[in-house]
A and B are shown apart, each in its own frame.
Chain A
Amino acid sequence: MKQKSVAVVGAAETTNMGKIPDQSVIGLHADAALNAMRDAGLTAKDIDGVATAGESPVELAHYLGITPTWADGTSVGGCSFMLHVRHAAAAINEGLCNTVLITHAESGRSRVGARKFGRDPASQMGQFEVPFGVTSPPTMFTIPVLRYMKEMGVTEEDLAMVAVIQREWAAKNPRASFKDPITVDDVLNSSMIAWPFRKLMCCLVTDGGGALILTSAERAKDFPQKPVYILGTGESVETPMVSQMEDFTTSKAFRVSGKKAFEEAGIKHDDVDHLMIYDAFAHLPLFGLEDLGFVKRGEAAAFIRERNTAIGGKLPLNTNGGGLSYMHSGMYGMYALQESIRQMRGIAPAQVPGAKISIAHGVGGMFAASGTIIFSNEKP
């Protein structure tokens, strides 16, 4: 896509976060959307493009009173919103619409008006994975890790350290679900979920949502907030079944998506000031750092252990506390995007001083899909 041709002019999360028993899923979508519209100084009448995952874009548009000329219901898991940003930028550049609203919301914890989770027993996953006892991400997303640990020489302590450092970031964020410091021992002594994963290596389950509003960079300067420009985008998908990943030590979808985004943006890794990597589990930042090319394969654990991604480090990572400590309603990609926007606006609770380029990298399903967005706060 054309660099810096599209910008984010509205961004907000739901008013509340964590446990929200008095709002349904669609109600949370609307709450996030109304907050983002207020942020951008718009109402539903100004929106002519909608995208969402989990809910149908039809439901979203009608509920909010939007008559769109462009709709995208791409639903590939937690990184769907990165794909929506990418698709929306292309649609705006092509003139299909001018002002796009992207929303996410889930009642992950309270399950108010939430869809039931289940797999069709005739689907590929239903036939070739579910009969062996996988039910949910803690027993699926985790399966590649012992192979990764053996090949890369990564230890349980290394996995624990990911959670420890992200908790340090969360401590600076008033909206984070968990803010109290933890140690490697605390993580390794937390209850066993699925060997080698302990509870504190797994993400939270919360209620919440978020929304973004995008328009052309040309129009963006007329909006109340500091525009955040889109510099590069990438997406890919690999497999609906974690067991059929090409290689358990690296995600093909991550590599393809990341490479595409870097090529579009025309930047080097050293140019990146701030990074978000969707962390449903503690191994995701390790895979992300390697597959995006920030470190060589097998070097991510040491990179984190040496505090390069911690407060004051050279590559601040998951500065909101991440899915491990901030929040995780089910499809966390939206919150990674929101934190990138806050960092680019200069208003994040744990602001990286002078940050000019931020990347939000998402995963969908169990290494099934990926989306990467590179943002900049510098004018075209």
Chain B
Amino acid sequence: MAEYPRPLPVPTPETQVFWDGCASGELRLQKCDACAHTYFPPRAFCPACSGRKVTTFKASGKATLYSYVINHRPRPDFGTEPHSIAVVTLAEGPRMMTNIIDCPQTPEALQLDMALEVTFEKASETISLPKFRPAKG
């Protein structure tokens, strides 16, 4: 495949499970066995209760738009048009940064709290980035 023009994540042992999930089309989160807290970014323990027993699971991929900016500064690697940089609230609770795609990159099209769903953009043989688009239906 053509070389992806942007800085890509380098997984660490603690985050590999998340990036492996993205590469196989799954958005993975982690949940504490003891207190049931669901969290992100991935780590080997629960940030709510410090417990070390946690379970990785496949998230629904559903989210709502929490906040965003539309970047107008030059980013040739993102094309020539302004693009969104967003934070979404996943149905399971945690928030993550992403881009909203498959819709106009305008304040009119990007309404806070709109329903979104995850989609994966293949960036290299091992890395796919989780992006979000308006939910269908």
Q: Does A116 belong to the interface (CB within 8 Å)?
A: no
Of chain B, the residue at the smallest CB distance from A122 is B10
Could you tell me if A122 and B11 are in contact, using CB atoms closer than 8 angstroms? yes
Contact with A along B97-120 (1 / 0, CB 8 A): 111000000010000100000000
Contact with B along A106-131 (1 / 0, CB 8 A): 00000000000001111010111111
Could you tell me if B8 and A194 are in contact, using CB atoms closer than 8 angstroms? no
Which residue of A120, A139, A148 is within 8 Å of B85 (Cβ)? A139
Could you tell me if B85 and A128 are in contact, using CB atoms closer than 8 angstroms? no
Could you tell me if A248 and B97 are in contact, using CB atoms closer than 8 angstroms? no
Q: How far is the CA of A139 from the CA of B41 in the complex (A)?
A: 20
Q: How far is the CA of A146 from the CA of B6 in the complex (A)?
A: 26
Q: Does B52 belong to the interface (CB within 8 Å)?
A: no
Could you tell me if B67 and A128 are in contact, using CB atoms closer than 8 angstroms? no
CB contacts (< 8 Å) of A128 on chain B: these are 9, 41, 96-97
Q: How far is the CA of A138 from the CA of B98 in the complex (A)?
A: 16
Q: Which residues of chain B (66-122) have a CB below 8 Å from chain A?
A: 66-73, 75, 78, 82-83, 85-87, 95-99, 107, 112
CB contacts (< 8 Å) of A129 on chain B: these are 97
Tell me how far the C-beta of A123 lies from the nearest C-beta in chain B, rounded to whole angstroms: 9
Q: How far is the CA of A338 from the CA of B66 in the complex (A)?
A: 37
Q: How far is the CA of A130 from the CA of B41 in the complex (A)?
A: 14
Which residue of B67, B75, B123 is within 8 Å of A135 (Cβ)? B75
Could you tell me if B85 and A143 are in contact, using CB atoms closer than 8 angstroms? yes
Which residue of A145, A150, A194 is within 8 Å of B71 (Cβ)? A194
Tell me how far the C-beta of A18 lies from the nearest C-beta in chain B, rounded to whole angstroms: 23
Which residue of A122, A132, A193, A244 is within 8 Å of B95 (Cβ)? A244
Q: Does A243 belong to the interface (CB within 8 Å)?
A: yes
Q: Does A353 belong to the interface (CB within 8 Å)?
A: no
Q: Does B129 belong to the interface (CB within 8 Å)?
A: yes
Among A131, A138, A150, the most chain B Cβ lie within 10 Å of the Cβ of A131
Q: Does A236 belong to the interface (CB within 8 Å)?
A: no
Could you tell me if B10 and A134 are in contact, using CB atoms closer than 8 angstroms? no
Q: Does A144 belong to the interface (CB within 8 Å)?
A: yes
CB contacts (< 8 Å) of A147 on chain B: these are 66-67, 112
Contact A126 to B10, CB < 8 A, known contacts A133-B85, A134-B97? yes
Q: Does A348 belong to the interface (CB within 8 Å)?
A: no
Q: Which residues of chain A (85-119) have a CB below 8 Å from chain B?
A: 119
Which residue of B19, B70, B73, B129 is within 8 Å of A132 (Cβ)? B129
Contact A126 to B9, CB < 8 A, known contacts A132-B85, A133-B83? yes
Q: Does A329 belong to the interface (CB within 8 Å)?
A: no
Contact A143 to B10, CB < 8 A, known contacts A195-B82, A195-B107? no
Among B73, B123, B129, the most chain A Cβ lie within 10 Å of the Cβ of B73
Q: Which residues of chain B (40-80) have a CB below 8 Å from chain A?
A: 41, 66-73, 75, 78
Could you tell me if A127 and B11 are in contact, using CB atoms closer than 8 angstroms? yes
Could you tell me if A146 and B67 are in contact, using CB atoms closer than 8 angstroms? yes
Tell me how far the C-beta of B55 lies from the nearest C-beta in chain A, rounded to whole angstroms: 20
CB contacts (< 8 Å) of A144 on chain B: these are 67, 87
Q: Does B137 belong to the interface (CB within 8 Å)?
A: no
Of chain A, the residue at the smallest CB distance from B41 is A128
Q: Does A295 belong to the interface (CB within 8 Å)?
A: no
Contact A127 to B69, CB < 8 A, known contacts A121-B7, A121-B10, A195-B82? no
Contact A143 to B69, CB < 8 A, known contacts A126-B10, A132-B129, A243-B96? yes
Of chain B, the residue at the smallest CB distance from A120 is B10
Could you tell me if B97 and A132 are in contact, using CB atoms closer than 8 angstroms? yes
Contact A139 to B9, CB < 8 A, known contacts A129-B97, A132-B85? no
